[in-house]
Amino acid sequence: MSRGPTGLWALSIVIGLLFIALFIYIACDIVTKGLQNWSEWAISAPFIKLGRDFWFVVAGILWVIGTVLFFMEMSGYTLTRGFKVVKNRVKWDAVDVTVVALSAAIYGGSLAATGGLPIIPGFTWLRPGNSLAPLFGILFGVPGALGTAIGNFIADALTGYLSIGSIGGFIGNFIIAYIPYKLMTDHSFRTPRSIAEYYIWGAVISSVYCALYISWWLDALEPVIGLPRALVWGWFAPWVIFNNAIVTTTITPILGYILYPPIKMRGLFWKDRLA
């Protein structure tokens, strides 16, 4: 861990610790106020104060962008940093298909393994497996992100949360993996830039994006799915942000630091596998 000046290392570590402290504070706040009193949680305040209409519009824009990006990647195209549409260069050979299968199995299995431990029965469960979602995108690229999406869908079936809402969860989980894959410039977890970029894109932005994406879907399909809109924005959205970020800020960077070298050495890192 010597690449980069000491000042940059200090800055990246401070950024990481600030995000960890923020989500530990949110965890303490939720425990203190009680799981049932979601309207009093600090993380729910922005959603309740700004109101459903505001978040429906903001999340609607993000939903359209996320959905377009998902189908663009699935049809073999991607967006460059200069906003040009180009071929995404994923080979979709036997190795990529195997990566999809292993990501789906590991992510879905790890989510389901704790599926018997509900936090609020009928609503959500303990999900330490969430820590793997950004990691699969960072290490395996689009095939890893797709495996994450499938894994979440299988876990929904195994834990009793499968509905039309799971389509939103499918693409929402793809986005958690896709954002850090696409927006980090250094995926190694070994430089100050990599650590800082991970915390911004992989731990926080992707968690917020995923929560808003799924929440918009649940809100728009409220007559079909039946989850009240007040609950979608006051409880579900903040809870998804917290449930993702509490593990992606703490566990994922450690896993990434350990797993990057063997994945890279074996030629499985997505940049080394482009056509």
Partner 1 sequence: MSIAVQAAILTVVGLIVHLAGVALYFVAKRRGGLFLALLGGLWTLAMVIFYIYSTLGFYGPMGGLQQESAGPVTTTVVGFIILIIGVVIAVRLARRGGVK
Residue ranges binding partner 1 (CB under 8 A): 76, 91-118, 121-123, 125, 143, 146, 150, 153-164, 166-167, 223-225, 262-263, 266-269, 272-273
State the nearest-atom distance from the C-beta of 122 to partner 1, in Å.
4
Shorter beta-carbon distance to partner 1: residue 79 or 105: 105
β-bridge pairing 118-120 and 85-87: unpaired
Shorter beta-carbon distance to partner 1: residue 67 or 114: 114
Shorter beta-carbon distance to partner 1: residue 166 or 206: 166
State the nearest-atom distance from the C-beta of 71 to partner 1, in Å.
13
Shorter beta-carbon distance to partner 1: residue 163 or 250: 163
Which structure tokens are listed for 133? 């979602």
CA dihedral 260, 126, 60, 44 (to 10 degrees): -120
Q: Which residues pair with 124 in a beta bridge?
A: 120
Which structure tokens are listed for 25? 């504070």
State the nearest-atom distance from the C-beta of 57 to partner 1, in Å.
25
Shorter beta-carbon distance to partner 1: residue 125 or 260: 125
Residue 7 half-sphere exposure toward CB, CA atoms < 13 A: 0
Q: Which residues of 151-184 are buried (b: 16+ CB within 10 A; e: fewer)?
A: bbbbbbeebebebebbebbbbbbbbbbbbbbbeb
State the nearest-atom distance from the C-beta of 182 to partner 1, in Å.
19
State the nearest-atom distance from the C-beta of 50 to partner 1, in Å.
27
Contacts for 6 with CB less than 8 Å, ≥ 6 apart? none
Give the C-alpha separation, 237 to 215, whole Å: 6
Shorter beta-carbon distance to partner 1: residue 59 or 263: 263
> What spatial distance separates the first Cα and last Cα of the chain, rounded to whole Å?
31
State the nearest-atom distance from the C-beta of 206 to partner 1, in Å.
21
The H or E element spanning position 77 is: strand 77-79
